[in-house]
Amino acid sequence: MSDGGGAARPSRMKARSDDPWLSVHAIAEYTFCPRAGLIAYENRRADPDDEPPAFDTLPRFELQAVEAEIAQQMKLLFRWLWAMLVVATSSPISVYLKQYWYLVLAGVAMIFITWQSLSVLAVLQELHRRRRVLLESRSAEPDPFHEQMQPVNWFGLLNLGFQSQVVNEPLRDGVWNFEGKPWRLLIRGDLVIPVFRTRSAQESPREPQVAKCMAYCRLVSVVYERECPYGIILTGEDYSGFAIPYCEMFRRDFHNSLVALRHLVQATGYGRDTEVDYEPRKCSGCHLGRPRSPSSGERVVRFGAPVPVKTNRDGMHSDCGDRFEWEPPYSD
Ligand code: SF4
C-alpha cells in the first residue's frame, strides 16, 4: 500500500526486514527533538498521553458511562435516604422506651447521613450537567476534502452518529515497521477516524502532535484497509479539538521523522555512538532535561541496562543528561 499521496516516497518509507520497529510515540518525540526520539525508542516508555479507559475518565467522554454512573449514584442516594428514614423512625421508639442515649447517637448518624447524601447529590448534579452537554453539543462534520485544520467537538461528533471505540491492542504497519494505539476510534459507516488526546491545553496542535495524528491515520488506513481522510486531536481537558487532514502538507513531518529515526537507531546501534542533533532553545522546557534527584524516577536505559547517572554541581541529573552525557540548559 502506498502512503496515500502521490508526492510521498513509498520507497524510502518502506522498511527492510532488519529495520527496527518504531512506536508512534518515538516518531512524534523525534519530531520535537532527535534526542527525545532516540530516548523514547531505547526506553520504550509508555506515551504519557496514552490513557487507558479508566473509570474516572470514562464518565467524561462516553454517554453510556455517564448514564451508568448516574444510575449507580442514584442507588447510593436511595441507600442513604433509606438509612435516614430508619434513624428518624427509630428515634420516637427510643423516647418511648426512655433510651435517651440513643437520641445522641441518632443525631450524629443524621449529620453523617445528611453529609453523605449531599455529596452524592453534588456528584449527580455534575453528571447531569455532563449528560446535558453531551446531548446538546453540536459540531460541523469535518470536510474530508479540506486541506486545513478544522475545529471539532467530541460530543458534537458523537451526536453526528459517530460511534466511539476503544483500541485495545496497538495497530501495526508491517510495511513501514511502526505501531501505535490511538486513544479512540470514531466509526461511522466506512469512515474510521483515529482520535487522541493531549493533556496540554493549547490553541492549536504542535508539530509532534500533528505527526502523531498523521501516523495514526496511516495505521488506520493500513489496518482497516480504507482511506482515512483525517485524524482528530482533542486538546487539554476540554471536549474540543481539531480535525487534521491526512494530506501531504501535514504528513511531511511524520514521514521525515519516521525515516530519520529509523536511520538514527541503526547508526547508534550495537554500541556505536554518533552525534545526535538537538536545538538548545527546545531544552529549556523539555521534561527530559529537567533536573531531578538521583533517587527519584526511572533511570534511562540503553541496550536494556540503566546508563550511569551524570549529576551536575547540585547533585541533580536528567534523562537526556544521562543518555548523552551532558547538562541540558533547562530552565523553569
Ligand atoms: S533536553 Fe534538549 S536535547 Fe535533550 S531531549 Fe530535550 S530538547 Fe532534546
Cα torsion angle, 38, 39, 42, 43, sign: negative
Choice from 276, 283, 318 to test ligand 1 binding pocket (greatest atom count within 8 A of CB): 283
Q: How far is ligand 1, taken at its centre, from the CA of residue 320, in Å? A: 6
State residue 64's pLDDT score.
82
Q: Give the type of residue at 269.
A: G
- Burial (CB count within 10 angstroms: exposed 0-12, middle 13-18, buried 19+), residue 29: buried
Distance 294 CA to ligand 1 centre (A): 18
Are 142 and 230 contacting, i.e. CB atoms less than 8 angstroms apart?
yes
Q: What's the CA dihedral at 70, 74, 77, 79 to 10 degrees? A: -130
Q: Going residue by residue through the chain, which has 332 residues, state the pLDDT in tens, using 9 for 90 and above.
A: 445 444 555 579 999 989 999 999 999 999 999 999 999 999 987 776 665 555 445 556 778 888 999 999 999 999 999 999 999 998 888 888 888 888 889 999 999 999 999 999 999 999 998 888 888 888 889 999 999 999 999 889 998 999 989 898 999 999 999 999 999 999 999 999 999 988 776 778 999 999 999 999 999 999 999 889 999 999 866 678 999 999 999 999 999 999 999 999 999 886 767 789 999 999 998 999 999 998 888 899 998 899 999 999 899 999 999 999 999 999 87
Q: Which of 42, 43, 317, 320 to mutate to test the pocket of ligand 1 (most atoms within 8 A of CB)?
A: 320
Q: Whose CA is nearest to atom 2 of ligand 1?
A: 283
Q: Which atom belonging to ligand 1 lies closest to the Cα atom of 36?
A: 5
Dihedral sign computed on CA atoms, order 57, 190, 216, 143: negative
pTM over 0.75: yes
- The reported pLDDT for the residue numbered 5 is 47
pLDDT at residue 1 in the model: 45
Q: What separation in Å is there between the alpha carbon of 264 and the centre of ligand 1?
A: 16
- Given this model, what pLDDT does residue 52 score? 55
Cα separation, 217 vs 213, whole angstroms? 6
Q: What nine digits make up the cell of 48?
A: 504519557
Q: Helix, strand, coil shares of the chain as percentages rounded to 5?
A: 45, 15, 40
Domain-by-domain residue ranges, the chain? Answer: 10-28+139-266, 58-136, 280-324
- Residue closest by Cα to atom 1 of ligand 1: 289
Distance 9 CA to ligand 1 centre (A): 29
- Ligand 1 contacts CB of residue 291 (under 6 A): no
Question: Which residue of 31, 288, 292 sits with most ligand 1 atoms within 8 Å of its CB, as the best mutation to test the pocket?
Answer: 288
Compute the distance from residue 73 Cα to the ligand 1 centre, in Å: 46
Tell whether ligand 1 has an atom less than 6 A from the beta carbon of residue 40. no
Instruction: Give the model's pLDDT for residue 55.
Output: 45
CA 133/CA 155 separation, integer angstroms: 8
Q: Whose CA is nearest to atom 7 of ligand 1?
A: 283
Nearest CA to ligand 1 atom 3: 278
By CB atoms closer than 10 A (0-12, 13-18, 19+), residue 137 is: middle
- From the list 109, 6, 29, 2, the residue with the least C-alpha distance to 286 is 29
pLDDT at residue 109, as a whole number? 93
